Amino acid sequence: MWAKLALKLFSREFKRGELTVISAAIALAVLTVLTLSMVTDRIGQSIAQKSSAFIAADRVLASNHPLPEEFLSKAVQSDLKTAQITYFDTMLFANDEMQLGSVKAVSANYPLKGELKIKNSLTAEAIATKRVPSPGTVWLSESVFYSLNVDIGDQVELGAANFIIDKVLVEEPDAPFNIFSSSRRILINHNDVASTQVVQPGSRVFYRQLYAGDESDINAFYQWLKPNMKENQQWYGVKDRQSPIANSLNRAESFLLLAGLLGIILAAVAIAVSAKRYCERQYDPVAMMKTLGGSRATIRKIYLLHLTLVCTMSVTVGLLVGFVLQEIAANYLAQSMASQLPAAGFKPWLTAISTGVICAVMFSIKPLLDLFDIPPLRVLRRNLGERLLVSKVHLGMSAVTVFMLMWLFSNNIKITAILFASTLLLIGLLFALSKVIFGGGRKLGLSPGNSWSLAIASIQKRANVNAVQLISFALAIKLLLFLIVLKNDMIADWQSQLPADAPNSFLVNITESELEPINQYLAAKNILVSDFYPTVRGRINAVNGELVAREVSLQDNEKKDEEARSGIGRELNLTWRETIPNQNELIAGQWFAKNATAEASVEESMLDRLDVELGDTLTFLIGAQSFDAKITSVRKVNWTTLKPNFFIILSPDVLADFPATYISSVRIEPQQKRDFSELLRTYPTVNAIDVESFVKQIRATIEQVSLAIGFVLAIVVVCGALVLISQVQASLGERMQEIVILRTLGAKGRLIKNATLYEFLLLGSIAGLVAAVISDIALFIVQRQMFDLAGKLHPDIWLIGPVVGGVFVASLGYLMIARTMRKNTQGLLRSLA
Using one digit for the tens of pLDDT, what is the confidence trace for 658-680?
888 888 888 888 888 788 878 87
pLDDT confidence band for 561 (50 / 70 / 90): very low
- CA nearest neighbour of 537 among 515, 582, 568, 506: 568
Residue 558 has φ and ψ, to the nearest 5°, of -80, 155
The structure's pTM equals 0.59
All residues at 6 or more sequence positions from 630 whose CB lies less than 8 Å from its CB, including other chains: 598, 599, 600, 615, 616, 617, 618
Which residue type, as a one-letter code, is found at position 807?
A: V
Question: 663, 690, 717: which is the final residue of a domain?
Answer: 690
pLDDT greater at residue 59 or residue 505: 59
Question: In the predicted model, what is the mean pLDDT of residues 316-334?
Answer: 82
Q: Does 285 share its domain with 357?
A: yes
pLDDT greater at residue 531 or residue 393: 531
DSSP 3-state assignment of 648?
Answer: strand
Residue 89 lies in a domain: yes
Q: Does 547 share its domain with 622?
A: yes
d(CA 23, CA 35): 18
Residue 425 lies in a domain: no
Residue 419 lies in a domain: no
Question: 639, 656, 690: which is the final residue of a domain?
Answer: 690
pLDDT greater at residue 292 or residue 208: 208
The listed range with the strongest mean pLDDT (44-53, 220-229, 304-313) is 220-229
Q: Does 547 share its domain with 640?
A: yes
DSSP state of 569: -
d(CA 559, CA 571): 20
Residue 421 lies in a domain: no
Return the pLDDT at 285: 77
Residue 516 lies in a domain: yes
Q: Does 146 share its domain with 256?
A: no
Residue 651 lies in a domain: yes
Return the pLDDT at 216: 86
Return the pLDDT at 564: 46
Q: Does 697 share its domain with 683?
A: no
Q: Does 480 share its domain with 516?
A: no
Residue 429 lies in a domain: no
In degrees to the nearest 10, what's the CA dihedral of 103, 109, 111, 114? 160
Q: Does 705 share its domain with 824?
A: yes
d(CA 584, CA 634): 10
pLDDT(467) > 60: yes
- Of 268-282, 373-387, 639-653, the range with the lowest mean pLDDT is 373-387
Averaged pLDDT of the chain: 77
Q: Does 19 share its domain with 102?
A: no
Residue 580 lies in a domain: yes
- Of 63-67, 476-480, 596-600, 621-625, the range with the lowest mean pLDDT is 476-480
pLDDT(417) > 60: yes
pLDDT greater at residue 644 or residue 272: 644
d(CA 561, CA 542): 14
Q: Does 452 share its domain with 512?
A: no
All residues at 6 or more sequence positions from 670 whose CB lies less than 8 Å from its CB, including other chains: none
Question: In the predicted model, what is the mean pLDDT of residues 290-311?
Answer: 80
What total of structural domains would you count in the chain?
Answer: 4
State how far the alpha carbon of 713 is from the alpha carbons of 51, 317, 331, 781, in Å.
Answer: 23, 23, 17, 20
Quick: pLDDT tens for 348-365: 888 888 878 887 787 777
Quick: pLDDT tens for 500-530: 667 778 888 888 888 889 988 888 988 888 8
Q: Which residues pair with 531 in a beta bridge?
A: none
Return the pLDDT at 166: 93
Q: Does 256 share its domain with 311?
A: yes
Return the pLDDT at 826: 62
Are the beta carbons of 729 and 21 closer than 8 angstroms?
Answer: yes
Question: 236, 255, 286: which is the final residue of a domain?
Answer: 236
DSSP 3-state assignment of 571?
Answer: coil
pLDDT confidence band for 407 (50 / 70 / 90): confident
- What is the residue range of 67's domain? 56-236
Q: Does 254 share its domain with 380?
A: yes
- Of 158-162, 176-180, 395-399, the range with the lowest mean pLDDT is 176-180
pLDDT confidence band for 805 (50 / 70 / 90): confident
- CA nearest neighbour of 487 among 785, 755, 706: 706
> What whole-number percentage of the chain has pLDDT above 90?
11
Q: Does 197 share its domain with 115?
A: yes
Hey, CA dihedral for 242, 248, 254, 257, is it positive or negative?
negative
d(CA 345, CA 214): 12
